[in-house]
Amino acid sequence: MAPGERKRIGRPPRLSRDEIVDAARQIIESDGVDALTMRRVADRVSSSPMAIYRHVRDRDELLVGVLDRLVTELPAPRLPAEPRARLVRLWRFLHDGLARHPWVVELLAQGDVIAPAVLPTMERINASAMACGLSTEEAARAYRIVWGFTVGHLLIRLGAARTDAREEHQALQTRVRTDVDARRWPALAAVAPHWAAARARDTYDTDVAVLLTGLLP
């Protein structure tokens, strides 16, 4: 200790919710969401599980805290004035935010967790749908349809990324889809050239526009 410096006594610095959320995020990003436990978080912040429970009710609330943090870090999109174009831009914003963290996609597809920080985006999407002429019921249905498509799109791309390194898997999928008997499967043979092309490029904006064409007046 420096001359004249007094040793601190008493309780250690109080643990904050932000520190707990940061620790949970670090565990997820390093070891996966299944590795997240209150004990692991407590060990990372040199505390006890009981101290963690003073800030978050359970593991789900801790996950919500991490999700909220990720949402608030996303750069706000510049939105067009035209409501249909605004819808495409807002859905792309959600898509790209989820694509940054693949574990979030799997979590949202499996459970009932949602980040309250995403509510402003949901509000804009539904308001834009109603500005296009949809009723409240139709806007809700349109949201569910495009949300389901978005999650499915991301899960498929995530699965494809995981199997890209396994050449035998990719070769098998390509072979089954493209090496078909045109006399027996004429429709499959006709669309076969388009499989690889679609896999190689990002068609999300175009696909969402097609969905919206069917959903909007």
pLDDT tens digits, 96-151: 999 999 899 988 888 778 899 999 999 999 999 999 999 999 999 999 999 999 99
Q: What local confidence, expressed as pLDDT, does residue 158 receive?
A: 81
Instruction: Of 104, 122, 125, give the one whose Cα is nearest residue 113.
Output: 104
- HSE-CB at 23 with a 13 A cutoff on CA atoms is 22
Domains of the chain: 17-72 (1.10.10.60), 83-215 (1.10.357.10)
Average pLDDT over all residues of the chain: 86
| CB environment 160-178: b (16+ within 10 A), e (fewer) | eeeeeeeeeeeeeeeeeee
Tokens 């859905």, residue located? 91
Q: Mapping DSSP to helix (H, G, I), strand (E, B) and coil, where does residue 195 land?
A: helix
- Would you tell me how many other CB atoms lie within 10 Å of the CB of residue 151? 17
- pLDDT: which is higher, 164 or 175: 175
pLDDT tens digits, 20-40: 999 999 999 999 999 999 999
Tokens 């040199």, residue located? 46
